[in-house]
Amino acid sequence: MTDGSKYLPYSSRKGNESIVYFTRDLSADGLRKLYARINQHITGKTAVKLHTGEPHGPNIIPRPWVKSLIENDIPGAHIVETNAYYEGGRYTTEQHREAIKVNGWTFAPVDIMDEDGTAMIPVKGGHHFKEMSVGKNMLNYDSLLVLTHFKGHAMGGFGGSVKNIGIGCADGRIGKAMIHTTPGQPDQWDICKEEFMERMTESAKATVDYFAPHISFINVMRNMSVSCDCEGVAAEPVVTPNVGILASLDILAIDSASVDLVYAMPEHFNHDLVERIESRHGHRQLTYMKELGMGNDRYVLIDTDNGDSRIYPADAVKGVKPFEG
């Protein structure tokens, strides 16, 4: 199915299942617990790709959680980012470093990967690209932990692991332009809906293939505004309940599970985020990952809070409470 405005129910999916771990424990301990389940291939010099946010952004992953994870479980790891494509608090390296300082990412080295230039890496099986431009410093790492704040997104509908690395590892001038803009016309954001999802996903595939198998994924379903963290203090108010943390070795499985958890909520809780996903045709991220062979959209959801029992999305969101800021 290529229509990104349509949700594909689990019963309509085919193929193998991957493991996705889940906890309701939204804390540093919960994050560390799930990392321990998917860290077996994280070796050598490790990068942690997360969204450090525009200055004073209210919804980013809490810094103390990440500090505890790195200091206890990934000592020596670097937080990695790239400069933004839009003019704002992270457009230049100098602005970006100030935003990083303001937002409290001072407990570990932060590598702005395109600070010293760019590199082209292959996109295997891509229809839009044969290669993608990324921050050159990405090639200095042996492993990548993709630590994602799952939320909405102005163009992608939702921002999961694919968005985190598809946009977030592409450098700020060349790679992001390849994804967002048709050359030779004035609209910086003219590529949208299905084509945007496909371009972003191909960019993510380049990074996944570069690190595989030394890459793991965590999605934190907390403070899920319909806005991305790139909107900072201008983000729309959060109305979707907090859910928990997911972890997997499969990028398609973890993003599929995260979207399924949103859809499993009562309509009065998920309305805004579902509308954002469907209006931007965000489901094409998932179906295109499947077409590119990036993983499985079927999964076994493991409840690490209750003896590693298998649960389903409705179980995971049972009893969620209205968001309280």
For residue 256, is pLDDT > 90? yes
Q: One-letter amino acid identity for 174?
A: I
Q: What is the largest CA-CA distance in the chain?
A: 56
The pTM is what?
0.96
Q: What pLDDT, on a 0 to 100 scale, did the predictor assign at position 140?
A: 98
Q: Each residue of 118-171: pLDDT tens digit?
A: 999 999 999 999 999 999 999 999 999 999 999 999 999 999 999 999 999 999
Checking if the pLDDT of 238 tops 80, the result is yes
Nearest in space to 134 (alpha carbons), one of 82, 209, 192: 82
pLDDT tens per residue, range 181-212: 999 999 999 999 999 999 999 999 999 999 99
Residue the block writes with tokens 């630590």: 147
71 pLDDT band, cuts 50/70/90, is: very high
* Domains of the chain, each with CATH number or no CATH: 10-316 (3.40.50)
Q: Which token pair is 119?
A: 């590199």
- Of the candidates 197, 150, 144, the one whose C-alpha atom is nearest the C-alpha of residue 169 is 144
Q: Provide the pLDDT for residue 56.
A: 85
pLDDT per position as a tens digit, 88-128? 889 999 999 999 999 999 999 999 999 999 999 999 999 99
Joined together, the tokens standing for residue 158 give 């939702």
pLDDT(233) > 90? no
pLDDT at position 231 = 64
**pLDDT for residue 144:** 98
Contact 37/300 with Cβ under 8 angstroms?
no
**323 burial level (CB within 10 Å; 0-12, 13-18, 19+):** middle
| CA distance linking residue 68 with residue 33, whole number of Å | 12
Burial of 92 (0-12, 13-18, 19+ CB in 10 A): middle
- Average pLDDT score over residue span 25-44: 98
Distance in angstroms (rounded) separating the CA atoms of residues 5 and 7: 7
Which positions ≥6 away from 237 have C-beta within 8 Å?
225, 325
Strand 215-221 to 118-122 pairing:
unpaired
The answer to whether 320 and 262 are in contact (CB under 8 A) is: no
Ranges of H-type helices in 36-83: 63-73
Distance from the Cα of residue 73 to its chain's centroid: 21
Rounded to whole angstroms, the Cα distance separating 227 from 236 reads 6
Average model confidence (pLDDT) for the chain? 95
Span 272-301, average pLDDT? 97
Is residue 57 scored above 90 in pLDDT? Answer: no
The span from the CA of 132 to the CA of 129, in Å, is 7
Model confidence band, residue 244 (pLDDT cutoffs 50, 70, 90): very high
Q: What is the DSSP letter of 168?
A: T
Cα gap 179→93, rounded to integer Å: 21
